[in-house]
Amino acid sequence: MSKYIFTTGGVCSSLGKGIASASMGALLECRGLKVCMIKIDPYLNVDAGTMSPYQHGEVFVTDDGAETDLDLGNYERFTNSPLSAANSITTGQIYQEVIRRERAGQYLGKCVQVVPHITDEIKRRIYALGEKPDIDVTIVETGGTVGDIESIPYLEAIRQIIHERGKKNTCSVHLTLVPEVSGGEVKTKPTQHSVKAMREIGIQPDVLLCRCKEELEEGFKKKIAQFTNIDFDCVLSAHDVNTTIYEIPASYHAQGFDDVVCEKLDLKTKKADIAPWIKLADQYKKDGTKVTIGMIGKYTKLGDTYKSIDEGIVHGAIKNNVDVELVKIESDELEKGNPEEILKNLDGILIPGGFGERGIIGMTLAAKYARENKIPYFGICLGVQIMVIEYCRNVLGIADADSSEFRPEGANSVIALLEEQVDVIEYGGTMRLGGYDSHLVKGSKIHEAYGADVIRERHRHRYEVANNYKERMTEAGLILSGFSPDGQLVESAEWKDHPWGVGVQFHPEFKSTPLNPGPLFDKFVKAVGDSKNKK
């Protein structure tokens, strides 16, 4: 019978349920098991696509084009679990489907209610993935915090699954905060109350992850175990690590996390081989070339906005033994002061994706500075569009070159909408989304990075390089190095005679992992390190 692990949170949000769930998945895979990862988000949005980065951080895109919570990015970086739209469940999706069925008369005149109809739809979606024959364990993370009104239907559905499948086939993992108050005194009472709230719903946690600053002492673990009715060896310390989040699987393994879970689920597996994760953490600790990379973005004030790019840089840094200081700069700050003064100490410049006109001038100034001063440059999505606009203005001499996103009535829109997008007025799910093939030009830097003629990467954008300007760009020396299979859409561009000036229309960060860094992050960080060493 299929096995299920349910990860919930208490005391407060943003404690790291996603990393804990992903680490759990990684450890089970190290034991030879096949895992399936599911994220439940209790918000009423159908997906994360229309949410502001300031509200919810990064939007992670799966290969089938689903716009999801950033925790799915953690799942892909830590595990081999195949992810699609089905792995992301939201309240908006649940209610949308139940109401659709009610309107179609599929409930045969019944009064449609949260229990059983909403909870049944939640269970249906979980079982649809968890009951696949090639899946050993399904890990379901529920967003939010116990006690939140919007989480109640999900916790009730989880209670029902535990009852239906039995304790040998289900495991409840609860992550709570063990805070330090003034004077450094550790307090366990919030955790006690959080477990009490779970029990009032009908769920007795099997494993407790105690989020804390320093490793939890044995005396505190015993106290928590006694007052929460949880076995002592199932009370684990989820303390801060000294290096990188990729050390967390090894930290949990050292405490017997995977042993406890496998025992609870009656899983007979091989001994966990976590050598790759230990090697990764050791490699991160090594001293390397110290470089400073500036990310010139529109939403840099929120740490999670560019989560996958942040991690992609880490992946490249670990592989190349480069010690990267990633400095995030609001692009409109470059417009207010002296951009050269802000940029002069950077060894590399990266411009990520974004929407809207704000901060575009600052990004263009950064791209110009990188091109003229031979500073390694990496443009992602909007970053390649900025690269093209700057080149057209300052090399081709098209002073008013722009994007129709920023200047709809402009005479020279070198970046423009696809014809099929012109009349689209809805924003949710209407972009070019998900995995697409790109054909690479031999001899280009991107072809060298991937070592392949055809690649597949994920997209999330509306605007493209305008076809009627491509010939002029090429004649002026801009290298168009990647195209869609029909040759119509530009997928990448490069600067000639430059240590690394590469921009791509897709989002390579979504497929980069610590054990298999994205080729462009690998080569970009290497180029930054090599450039610094030459200086």
Q: Are 418 and 432 in contact (CB under 8 A)?
A: yes
The token pair that represents 97 in the structure block: 């489907």
Cα–Cα distance list, 157 to 28, 124, 320, 330, 515 (Å): 24, 10, 46, 43, 35
Q: 207 φ, ψ to 5°?
A: -130, 140
Of all helices (H) and strands (E), which one includes residue 177? strand 170-177
Cα–Cα distance list, 154 to 17, 162, 192, 266, 274 (Å): 16, 12, 21, 25, 33
> Which of these is catalytic: 117, 459, 498, 507?
507
The reply to whether 36 belongs to the active site is: no
Of all helices (H) and strands (E), which one includes residue 417? strand 413-417
DSSP secondary structure code for residue 14 in this structure: -
Q: For residue 42, which of 139, 147, 152, 123 has the smallest C-alpha distance? A: 152
Q: What is the DSSP pairing of strand 490-494 with strand 479-483?
A: antiparallel
**Distance between CA atoms of 141 and 154, rounded to whole angstroms?**
10
The token pair that represents 421 in the structure block: 């997008």
- Where would I find the H helices in 64-151? 71-78, 91-103, 119-130
Residue 116 CA to its chain's centroid (Å): 33
DSSP secondary structure code for residue 116 in this structure: I
**Distance between CA atoms of 189 and 436, rounded to whole angstroms?**
51
The reply to whether 381 belongs to the active site is: yes
C-alpha torsion sign, points 24, 25, 26, 30: positive
Q: DSSP 3-state assignment of 383?
A: helix
Place of tokens 């450039």: 531
How many distinct helices (H) and strands (E) make up the chain? 19, 21
Q: DSSP 3-state assignment of 59?
A: coil
The reply to whether 30 belongs to the active site is: no
The token pair that represents 296 in the structure block: 């010139």
Q: For residue 263, which of 34, 31, 79 has the smallest C-alpha distance? A: 31
Q: DSSP 3-state assignment of 477?
A: coil
Cα–Cα distance list, 293 to 64, 87, 97, 378, 529 (Å): 31, 34, 45, 10, 10
Q: For residue 454, which of 438, 443, 435 has the smallest C-alpha distance? A: 438
> Which of these is catalytic: 381, 457, 464, 498?
381
What are the residue numbers of the active site? 381, 507, 509
